[in-house]
Structure 1
Amino acid sequence: MFQGLIDWLNRLGPRLYAAFLEGDRWQLYLQGLVTTLELTVCALIVGVALGVLVAVIRTAHDQQRPGHRNFALAILNVICKIYTTVIRGTPMLVQILIWGFVIFSSSRNKFMVGVVALGINSGAYVAEIVRGGLMSVDMGQSEAGRSLGLGYLDTMRFIVIPQAFKNILPSLGNEFITLFKDTSLVNTIGLAELTYRAARIAGNTFDYMPPYIGIAIMYLVVVIILTWLQGKMERRLRQSDRR
């Protein structure tokens, strides 16, 4: 038994060397990780901006007073509902393939395509997260802001959204972590992120175990760090509430 383990370890050394050290291949993993993080941040910015816009439109429509319906707002609300239904009802991989090989088939900027695909997908989920947070704030807060002479947008910006942010932070943090892991799907359109780099190295060495186990560990380490940062931010917000 021990001899078999020793033999396996002896065979593992050259495999690890070929996957990570030979030809400075570790630099390729780091480049892929940097691209993955940049893609995640850019897509999250797009997703949050789009999600907040959709959430505000849908919340404004749902909170209209009886007899004071806005036709333009109703049209925008229908568009937003179609958007969230289609995006949440179809697989992300299929969406990425459509963006990469149908809509932007002639584009060589794979990073931009990845940001658009992931950002629009994330926006649908962020919209529901933010909408739930906005609806959780008591209507009296909005009425108080309006009574002070604030417009709807100012009331949302200064009163409602800051309170809703504390409620949606855990879900928003989970969406960020999910988005980070889902960036691995954009390797299907040729973007050289972490998974793409590992696949190319595995193809060159004809050994798939070390590269894929290696990037799995890298993904796990980053997720652990992000989870720790999320928990730390949540504790600070709870402490500020006590004060």
Structure 2
Amino acid sequence: MNYMGFSQIYDSIPYILYGIWVTLQFVSVSAVFGFIWGIILALFKISRVTFLTGFADAYTFIFRGVPLILQLAIIYFATPQVVGYDITAFQAGVLAFSLHSGAYISEIIRAGILAVDKGQTEAAQALGVSYRPMMKDIILPQAMKNILPALMNEFITLTKESAIVSTIGVLDIMRRAQIVAADKFLYFPPLITAAVIYLILVTILTLLGRAVERRMRRSD
């Protein structure tokens, strides 16, 4: 532990580790809202209403084209000026990541819906099933089963990209490592510690994703 100054940050490791809870809390909330928004956008994209389709396509174009860190900065720094609400760093991070992730998730879900055999839709229509229950009970469950690995990859990407919220002061893993580095005047040990933590989190999520995928294959 004496190598490269790691012994000097030993007492600060619990402080950095607590950032795992902050990171997972942030990622989980963002993933849930991003998933819900992604479903709504995907339904807009396959809608026959031109306005909804145009809105969803334009939204995806903008949020996939503008850097995430810029979206985060706009939401955090401009919101008080535009609407007069003093948004917190955590709220700004969740909003930015949810809106950004929703654009990508909508494309994943849209592709999953279109990949479902058209015969399913035709059979449901022949039986007199209306659009909403058909989507909820027939099409979306099948689509979700096919796109679950892609959604898991998006969740993993979200976990890694969450380090960006450190730029606005959220006390996640990255931010805590930076605070320790500034306090100890040592950058290598705390930043490497943060890197190892992220690697462990991503490895666990990857293994969980593979386990879910194997289970899905056995259920086919």
Judge same fold: TM > 0.5, yes or no: yes
* 2:18 aligned partner: 31
1:52 to 39, 48, 58: 39
Quick one: distance in 2 between partners of 1:179 and 1:34?
15
* 2:101 aligned partner: 122
Residue 191 of structure 1 pairs with residue 203 of structure 2: no
Write out aligned runs for 1:196-235 (5 A).
196-235=175-214
Structure 1 residue 153 displacement after superposition: 1.3
Structure 1 residue 18 displacement after superposition: 2.1
* 1:69 aligned partner: none
2:69 to 64, 89, 93: 93
| 1:93-121, Cα deviation, whole Å (9 max, x unpaired) | 11111111112465252111110000100
Would you say how many aligned residue pairs link Structure 1 and Structure 2? Answer: 217
- Given that residues 104 and 113 in structure 1 are in contact (C-alpha distance below 8 angstroms), is that contact kept between their aligned partners in structure 2? no
Return 5+ residue gaps in structure 2 as ranges.
Answer: none
Q: SS where residue 18 of structure 2 aligns?
A: helix
**Which amino acid is 1:86 matched to?**
I
* 2:8 aligned partner: 18
Identity %: 38
* 1:77 aligned partner: 53
Q: SS where residue 213 of structure 1 aligns?
A: helix
Normalised by the length of structure 1, the TM-score is 0.86
Quick one: distance in 2 between partners of 1:218 and 1:175?
19
1:112 to 79, 87, 91: 91
Normalised by the length of structure 2, the TM-score is 0.94
Structure 1 residue 192 displacement after superposition: 1.0
- Given that residues 170 and 230 in structure 1 are in contact (C-alpha distance below 8 angstroms), is that contact kept between their aligned partners in structure 2? yes
* 2:113 aligned partner: 134
- Given that residues 60 and 104 in structure 2 are in contact (C-alpha distance below 8 angstroms), is that contact kept between their aligned partners in structure 1? yes
Residue 40 of structure 1 pairs with residue 27 of structure 2: yes
Quick one: distance in 2 between partners of 1:55 and 1:221?
32
**Which amino acid is 2:198 matched to?**
Y
Quick one: distance in 2 between partners of 1:104 and 1:28?
31
Quick one: distance in 1 between partners of 2:87 and 2:18?
19
* 2:137 aligned partner: 158
Moved over 6 A (4+): none
Quick one: distance in 2 between partners of 1:152 and 1:213?
52
Return 5+ residue gaps in structure 1 as ranges.
Answer: 1-8, 62-72
Quick one: distance in 2 between partners of 1:112 and 1:233?
31
